[in-house]
Amino acid sequence: MDTLQNMRAFSCVAQVGSFTAAAVQLDTTTANVSRAVSNLEAHLQTRLLNRTTRRIALTEAGKRYLMRCEQILTYVEEAEAEASDAHSRPAGQLKVHSMTGVGQHFVIDAIARYRETHPEVTFDLTMANRVPDLLDEGYDVSIVLASELPDSGFVSQRLGITYSIVCASPDYVKQHGVAHKPADLLKHACLRMVSPVIPLEKWLFDGPEGQEMVNITQAPFQVNSADAMNAAIRSGMGVGVLPIYSAIDGLRDGSLVRVMPEYRLQELNLYAIYPSRQYLDAKIKTWVEYLRNSLPEILAAHEADLKTHELRIAN
């Protein structure tokens, strides 16, 4: 029995004073309306309406029940309107996951700029170097770096492509020289990033002679954060791999030197992952669209900065 529909039929009959008029208003038959009220009375084991051939009248129980019905139906209508509005107007809290480096260098600034046009959306941001279970952990959107995504059943949007480069400090280069090709790295102190998502102990390079791999089996230092790796490299501990977004400021101010500028590590895709396309909440839709429109431009600017830096060094 659909109690809510039966309550609507009963409320309508009580308001218009007729099963026939209620049927017209509800776009159904008089028999359906009569059956709905009878089913409701049977469920409650209480007579709600006294019926005669000429008129109907509410019983005392019917009057009390009608008041409650109208309150409940009002709440339901408000809830339906609010839920429907969520698909057209961005508002409410977005629970977002991001990998740490991406979050620090891209996502926080993107949130600030997105909220300039959507101030009714608030953010709960968690940064961690893993791919979360969106449903179990309640995230609306996850922003991750990966060569490819496993088949999860979730929706993914590629936001752009980036890659990493090998860097060292000027002092390290002065003391130990530079590597000119990937195999030379085995003679250096190679600092290693660790990640539960991307296997980073194998450095796969794209260079003048195609792809070359170096397996870093021993490292004097390893860490799970690109910014922490940046600090370790600047301190002269060794040679390390950094995403462009983490390295670019150090290259600009001279605290980092790019090693093997003809080589770069294999490209990674930046993805936004969310649970479903169907009935997508407006705040999720507009947030993902904003990232798709803004991040490629930022990634391209970093690439241009890197090329400008290298041209300046070459000259």
Identify the bridge partners of residue 192 per DSSP, sorted by sequence position.
222
User: Does residue 32 lie within any of the structural domains?
Assistant: yes
Distance CA 109, CA 113 (A): 6
The whole-angstrom distance between residue 127's C-alpha and the CA centroid of its chain comes to 12
Same structural domain, 273 and 137: yes
Nearest CA to 179 among 90, 254, 239, 113?
A: 239
User: Does residue 313 lie within any of the structural domains?
Assistant: no
pLDDT at 142: 94
User: Does residue 222 lie within any of the structural domains?
Assistant: yes
- Its domain, for residue 254, covers 164-266
Q: Is 80 exposed, middle or buried (0-12, 13-18, 19+ CB in 10 A)?
A: exposed
Same structural domain, 99 and 248: no
Summarize the confidence of residues 40-44 as an average pLDDT: 89
User: Does residue 310 lie within any of the structural domains?
Assistant: no
Is the pLDDT at 120 greater than 80, yes or no?
yes
Nearest CA to 62 among 79, 51, 50, 76?
A: 50
Same structural domain, 72 and 118: no
In angstroms, the Cα distances linking 232 to 125, 184, 237, 263, 290 are 26, 20, 6, 21, 34
Q: Long-range contacts for 30-35 (Cβ within 8 Å, ≥24 apart)?
A: 33/9
Same structural domain, 155 and 289: yes
pLDDT at 85: 58
Same structural domain, 241 and 199: yes
Same structural domain, 228 and 170: yes
Q: Long-range contacts for 293-300 (Cβ within 8 Å, ≥24 apart)?
A: 294/110, 294/113, 295/106, 295/110, 295/159, 295/160, 295/270, 296/159, 296/160, 298/106, 299/160, 299/161, 299/162, 299/245, 299/270
Same structural domain, 148 and 168: no
Contact call for residues 311 and 178 (beta carbons, < 8 A) = no
Sign of torsion over alpha carbons 132, 134, 138, 139: positive
**What is the CATH number for 128?**
3.40.190.10
Task: Convert the pLDDT of each residue in 128-144 to its tens digit.
Answer: 988 888 888 889 999 99
Task: Convert the pLDDT of each residue in 273-300 to its tens digit.
Answer: 998 766 678 899 899 999 999 988 888 8
Is the pLDDT at 164 greater than 60, yes or no?
yes
Same structural domain, 131 and 278: yes
Distance CA 44, CA 65 (A): 10
Same structural domain, 246 and 185: yes
Same structural domain, 148 and 223: no
In angstroms, the Cα distances linking 189 to 3, 48, 57 are 72, 85, 91
Contacts of 163 (CB under 8 A, 6+ apart): 206, 243, 244, 264, 265, 266, 267, 268
User: Does residue 208 lie within any of the structural domains?
Assistant: yes
Distance CA 35, CA 272 (A): 50
Cβ count within 10 A of residue 78: 10
pLDDT at 146: 84
User: Does residue 309 lie within any of the structural domains?
Assistant: no
Distance CA 267, CA 127 (A): 22
Task: Convert the pLDDT of each residue in 142-151 to its tens digit.
Answer: 999 888 877 7
Distance CA 204, CA 32 (A): 70
User: Does residue 312 lie within any of the structural domains?
Assistant: no
Domain-ending residue, one of 58, 85, 112: 85
Contact call for residues 19 and 13 (beta carbons, < 8 A) = yes
**Which token pair is 172?**
């390290």
Domain-ending residue, one of 57, 85, 113: 85
**What is the CATH number for 41?**
1.10.10.10
Is the pLDDT at 61 greater than 60, yes or no?
yes
pLDDT at 304: 82
Same structural domain, 128 and 276: yes
Cβ count within 10 A of residue 299: 19
**What is the CATH number for 247?**
3.40.190.290
Same structural domain, 78 and 198: no
User: Does residue 30 lie within any of the structural domains?
Assistant: yes
Q: How many domains does the chain have?
A: 3
Contact call for residues 236 and 169 (beta carbons, < 8 A) = yes
